[in-house]
């Protein structure tokens, strides 16, 4: 009887290892996420499934998933820690330099100058008219960012890396 139990445990061991590895990868490295809403339109249309990368530090123009106001939001990073951000007449200035905003869909409302702290980011949705972003909720702390995403896995006709 004891030998049978040992044999069964040895047979189950590879499956247990696979389960633990998958659980660790999903918890600490990558996980699927679903896009809700249209605040990232034209880039994302909503209802896409994407891969969230939980490693690394967000860079300018990365799409991030964040926790804000007890909700999971998807936005694009514009301002990095320590930078000065101003939005005036539909133009974004970072450290007093105008940037080309190729992702904006619609008008970007004015935002008074703010200097980000060492752990803060300024995020905007691509669809500026409907986006709940840093213009409304203020800068985002690094601890609120769950990771970056740029790879669509569903729908299949959009499968692949975003440009």
**Pairing between strand 140-141 and 84-88?**
unpaired
Active site residue 131: no
Count Cβ atoms below 10 Å from residue 120 Cβ, excluding itself.
20
pLDDT score for 26? 83
Q: Which of 75, 131, 134, 146 is catalytic?
A: 75
Residue 23 tokens read as 């659980």
52 phi/psi in degrees, rounded to 5: -95, 120
Q: What is the pLDDT along the chain (163 residues), one digit of tens a residue?
A: 778 777 777 888 888 888 998 888 888 889 999 998 899 999 998 889 999 999 999 999 999 999 987 789 999 999 999 999 999 999 999 999 999 999 999 999 999 999 999 999 999 999 999 999 999 999 999 999 999 999 999 999 999 998 7
Rounded to whole angstroms, how far apart are CA atoms 31 and 140? 21
Whether residue 42 is preceded by a cis peptide bond, meaning omega within 30 degrees of 0, is: yes
pLDDT score for 75? 97
pLDDT score for 88? 95
Domain count, the chain: 1
pLDDT score for 136? 93
Q: Which of 4, 7, 10, 39 is catalytic?
A: 39
Model pTM? 0.88
pLDDT score for 81? 98
Active site residue 39: yes
**DSSP bridge pairs for 75:** 64
**DSSP bridge pairs for 77:** 123
Characterize 37-53 residue by residue with b for buried, 16 or more Cβ atoms within 10 angstroms of its Cβ, and e for exposed. Answer: bbbbbebbeeebebbbb
Q: What range defines the domain where residue 147 resides?
A: 2-161
67 touches 52 (CB < 8 A): no
pLDDT score for 155? 94
pLDDT score for 3? 80
Domain harbouring 74, CATH code:
2.10.109.10
């Amino acid at each position: 009887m004891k030998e049978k139990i040992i044999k069964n445990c040895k047979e189950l061991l590879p499956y247990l290892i696979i389960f633990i590895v998958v659980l660790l990868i999903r918890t600490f490295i990558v996980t699927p996420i679903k896009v809700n809403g249209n605040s990232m339109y034209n880039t994302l249309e909503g209802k896409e499934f994407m891969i969230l990368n939980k490693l690394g530090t967000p860079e300018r123009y990365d799409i991030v998933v964040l926790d804000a106001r007890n909700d999971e939001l998807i936005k694009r990073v514009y301002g990095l820690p320590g930078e000065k951000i101003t939005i005036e007449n539909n133009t974004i200035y970072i450290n007093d330099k105008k940037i080309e905003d190729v992702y904006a869909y619609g008008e970007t409302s004015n935002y008074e100058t703010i200097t980000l702290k060492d752990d803060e980011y300024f995020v905007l949705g691509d669809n500026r008219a409907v986006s709940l972003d840093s213009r409304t909720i203020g800068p985002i702390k690094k601890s609120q960012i769950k990771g970056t995403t740029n790879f669509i896995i569903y729908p299949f006709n959009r499968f692949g890396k975003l440009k």
